[in-house]
């Protein structure tokens, strides 16, 4: 996995004076751009500490500077130079969804299982929160994940999604039902009883659905769950499922269906209704969205 060109970390502002002194000793030239405590530069490396405590480092000599000075002296951890030492290698199922905020296209719920060796492999494949990747990269990584790891993907295209929403009358209840179904399927296939989910509602809702299905799994629900590598892998599978589903619908209706819920989306929905009839909308969009009122 290639490292990003700009390293970013948060540090305790009380360390600013030590950092500043050390950089001067290392012959950095200091300046003070707006919103910074200081910016330091020398050949091959630049380092900026912002008033928020955010620290950025970039340049050709960045890696050595971080490994041999910044990590031992300031950060006091080695997540950059030795990321594998900080991986949680507990075998587990990670879960996430995609498409719930998009007017067009399916709702996709993904669950993926990895053991310790698998988690190391996920890092090598470049797995991270899907929001940090473009769709082309997501689809590419997803193909590797699907060929390497046990997973379950539930893809609810609009026609089925709208039927289920009419039944549940609440998106979070629909999500809880779908996540429980995906978790139950993958837990049965792998025997894994440990799972982590990117939290989307009150945790009691998921627990209630697990109880109804008599699914005995230890489930952790975490806000910003994609920070967990296995959940991040699930986020990639879910997003790839959504992107591929959008492509299928675009091909079916003979027009490019835009993502999100923007004015461009409203325009495309009007065009689709004019071309294929209003009844076609139920096959392409999530009809409970307020966007429907603008058509």
The pLDDT, as a whole number, for residue 3 is 57
Higher pLDDT, 129 or 98: 98
Q: What is the mean pLDDT of residues 92-118?
A: 97
- Residue 84's pLDDT band, with cuts at 50, 70 and 90, is low
State pLDDT tens for residues 178-218: 999 999 999 999 999 999 999 999 999 999 999 999 999 99
Rounded Cα distance, 43 and 61, in Å: 8
The pLDDT, as a whole number, for residue 126 is 87
What φ, ψ does residue 204 adopt, rounded to 5°? Answer: -65, -25
Complete domains list, the chain, with CATH: 6-85 (3.30.310.10), 92-248 (3.30.420.10)
Instruction: Read off the pTM.
Output: 0.75
Which of 157-167 are b and which e, b meaning 16 or more Cβ less than 10 Å from the residue's Cβ?
Answer: bbeebbeebee
State pLDDT tens for residues 134-161: 999 999 999 999 999 999 999 999 999 9
Is 60 exceeded by the pLDDT of residue 2? no
Q: What is the mean pLDDT of residues 277-285?
A: 94
């Amino acid at each position: 996995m290639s490292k990003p060109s700009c390293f970013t970390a948060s540090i305790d502002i009380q360390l600013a004076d030590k950092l500043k002194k050390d950089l001067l000793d290392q012959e950095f030239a200091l300046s003070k751009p707006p919103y910074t405590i200081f910016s330091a530069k020398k050949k091959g490396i630049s380092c900026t500490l912002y008033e928020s405590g955010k620290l950025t480092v970039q340049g050709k000599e960045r890696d050595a500077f971080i490994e041999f000075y910044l990590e031992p002296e300031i950060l006091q951890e080695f997540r950059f130079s030795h990321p594998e030492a900080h991986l949680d290698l507990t075998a587990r199922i990670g879960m996430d969804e995609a498409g719930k905020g998009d007017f067009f296209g399916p709702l996709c719920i993904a669950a993926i299982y990895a053991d310790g060796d698998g988690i190391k492999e996920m890092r090598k494949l470049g797995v991270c929160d899907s929001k940090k990747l473009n769709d082309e990269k997501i689809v590419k990584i997803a193909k590797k994940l699907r060929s390497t790891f046990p997973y379950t993907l539930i893809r609810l295209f609009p026609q089925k999604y709208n039927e289920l929403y009419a039944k549940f009358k609440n998106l979070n209840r629909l999500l809880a039902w779908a996540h429980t179904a995906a978790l139950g399927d993958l837990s049965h296939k792998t025997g894994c009883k440990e799972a982590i989910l990117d939290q989307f509602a009150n945790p009691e809702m998921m627990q209630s659905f697990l109880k109804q299905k008599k699914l005995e799994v230890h489930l952790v629900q975490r806000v910003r769950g994609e920070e967990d590598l296995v959940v991040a892998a699930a986020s990639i599978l879910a997003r790839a499922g959504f992107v591929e589903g959008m492509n299928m619908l675009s091909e079916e209706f003979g027009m490019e269906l835009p993502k999100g819920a923007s004015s461009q989306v409203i325009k495309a929905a009007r065009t689709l209704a004019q071309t294929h009839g209003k009844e076609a909308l139920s096959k392409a969009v999530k009809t409970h969205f307020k966007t429907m009122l603008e058509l």
